[in-house]
Amino acid sequence: MDIEKHGWLLLVASLPTSGATPRMRLWRAIKSLGCAALRDGAYLLPAAPNHEAAMAELAEQTNREGGQAWVVDVAPRSREDQAAFMALFDRMGEYAELAGQLSQARKILASQTPVEVIKLVKKLRKELDNIRRIDFFSSESSLSAEAAWSDFAEAANALLSPDEPHAAERPIALRNPADYQGRTWATRRNLWVDRVASAWLIRRFIDRKASFLWLDSPAACPPDALGFDFDDAAFTHVGDRVTFEVLLASFGLEADPGLARLGALVHALDVGGSSTPEAVGFEAIVSGARTRLNNDDALLAEIGTVLDSLLAHFNLESTT
């Protein structure tokens, strides 16, 4: 965030002492935005279009509820003042607290049921995403929390998906889609995010006549089938890329902005990392569909329409 260019915003607000609900509503909104309190009734944010709109809305809401509020542009008078303002947004404490929670959660994972593990992963990922959202300045304070999250997410994935592939270290060769038409593709059954998205990508952009085998075990993959998303498969995790991203790179699809954004969504849900606004909703849809549907062909058909819609949404956003 270019603070020297955009400066700072200050919300000055006061509400009547009677009526706790408006005061609580204002406090929650200020906390959600990541404001720094200079004093009671004075809240600072780095200036950005979304922050300006949010501050203006809070001021209007405060005035409607019988209070008084103004949004003021603030310019620091020296580099020291600028540094002091930035220091107010140091998230070291929040990251340290979360790193401790992740460390403790890692110790109890083995004693949890799969449902409990899923709930724990969702809870802690949401907390990490909330801190990331209001961490406006690059710093090293997040590194220990990110490392603890990676350790925790890897351990949770190992419990929930024992056959989850280990990342290979090899170059990703560019393939010609013409050589991959009408093939049989195979992956582990009980599709989850990376596998169902990869199957959709294969049929939608790589091999429109693809047929799929859903394997009880990777060892059951026929020699003439193209395996994906398991160890030693033709297409699987490579380096820090999940299978969906490897397929994008393998078939020259990375330049498509909509597919690239889908890749970021799949990556975040499969191995962690910076999440996207759509990721939580997509994960919920896949989870619900797996509960309702009794086979992977039906799951691919249903989630395929969701991915079609997400791709259209991402492509529309990239052109506006």
One domain, residues 102 and 78: no
The partner residues of 43 in beta bridges, in order of sequence, read 11, 37
Q: In this structure, are residues 212 and 300 in contact, taking their beta carbons and an 8 Å threshold?
A: yes
One domain, residues 19 and 98: no
- Give the pair of three-digit tokens for residue 173: 């060769």
The H-assigned helical ranges of the chain are 3-6, 20-33, 49-64, 79-87, 92-108, 114-133, 143-160, 193-201, 243-250, 257-271, 279-292, 296-318
One domain, residues 252 and 278: yes
Helix (H, G, I), strand (E, B) or coil at 317: helix
One domain, residues 181 and 210: yes
Q: Write out pLDDT tens, residues 149-192.
A: 888 887 887 777 766 788 888 899 999 999 999 999 999 998 99
Q: Write out pLDDT tens, residues 92-105.
A: 999 999 988 998 99
Is residue 171 in a domain?
no
Q: Write out pLDDT tens, residues 281-309.
A: 998 899 889 889 989 999 999 999 999 99
Express as a percent the part of the chain with pLDDT over 90: 60
One domain, residues 277 and 182: yes
The domain that holds 9 is classified in CATH as: 3.30.70.240
Picking from 67, 87, 107, the residue at the C-terminal end of a domain is 87
Q: Write out pLDDT tens, residues 7-45.
A: 899 999 998 877 678 888 888 999 999 999 998 899 999
One domain, residues 248 and 188: yes
Query: Residue 4: is its pLDDT beyond 80?
Result: no
Is residue 109 in a domain?
yes
Is residue 46 in a domain?
yes
> C-alpha angle with apex 148: 144 to 149, nearest 5 degrees?
115
Q: Band the pLDDT of 2: cuts 50, 70, 90.
A: very low
Nearest to 290 by CA among 221, 158, 189, 217: 189
Is residue 136 in a domain?
yes
pLDDT the model gives residue 140: 78
Q: Write out pLDDT tens, residues 203-213.
A: 999 999 999 99
- Give the pair of three-digit tokens for residue 178: 């013409």
One domain, residues 77 and 188: no
The structural domain count of the chain equals 3
Picking from 69, 87, 105, the residue at the C-terminal end of a domain is 87
Nearest to 109 by CA among 97, 126, 124: 124
Query: Residue 235: is its pLDDT beyond 90?
Result: yes
- Distance in Å from the first CA to the final CA of the chain: 22
One domain, residues 101 and 211: no
Q: CA-to-CA distance for 84 and 93, rounded, in angstroms?
A: 17
Picking from 42, 67, 87, the residue at the C-terminal end of a domain is 87
pLDDT the model gives residue 237: 95
Query: Residue 1: is its pLDDT beyond 60?
Result: no
Is residue 271 in a domain?
yes
pLDDT the model gives residue 3: 47
pTM of the model: 0.61
Is residue 217 in a domain?
yes
Q: CA-to-CA distance for 128 and 203, rounded, in angstroms?
A: 34
Q: Would you tell me the crossing angle of helices 296-318 and 193-201 to the nearest 10 degrees? A: 70
Q: Write out pLDDT tens, residues 110-135.
A: 888 878 888 898 899 889 989 999 99
pLDDT the model gives residue 203: 97
pLDDT the model gives residue 320: 66
Sheet holding 36-39, edge to edge: 36-39, 42-46, 8-14, 68-74
Query: Residue 6: is its pLDDT beyond 80?
Result: no
Q: CA-to-CA distance for 166 and 197, rounded, in angstroms?
A: 18
One domain, residues 37 and 132: no
Q: Write out pLDDT tens, residues 63-78.
A: 998 889 999 999 998 8
Is residue 263 in a domain?
yes
Q: What is the domain range of residue 308?
A: 177-318
Is residue 170 in a domain?
no
One domain, residues 153 and 30: no
Nearest to 198 by CA among 263, 257, 255, 154: 263
One domain, residues 20 and 82: yes
Q: Between 219 and 146, name the one with better pLDDT.
A: 219
One domain, residues 102 and 136: yes
Sheet holding 184-188, edge to edge: 211-215, 184-188, 226-227
* DSSP assignments along 163-228, one per residue: TPPPPB-S------GGGGTT-EEEEESS--HHHHHHHHHIIIII-TT-EEEEESSGGG--TTSEEB
Count the neighbouring beta carbons within 10 Å of the beta carbon of residue 240.
10
Q: Write out pLDDT tens, residues 240-281.
A: 999 999 999 999 999 999 999 999 999 988 887 777 789 889
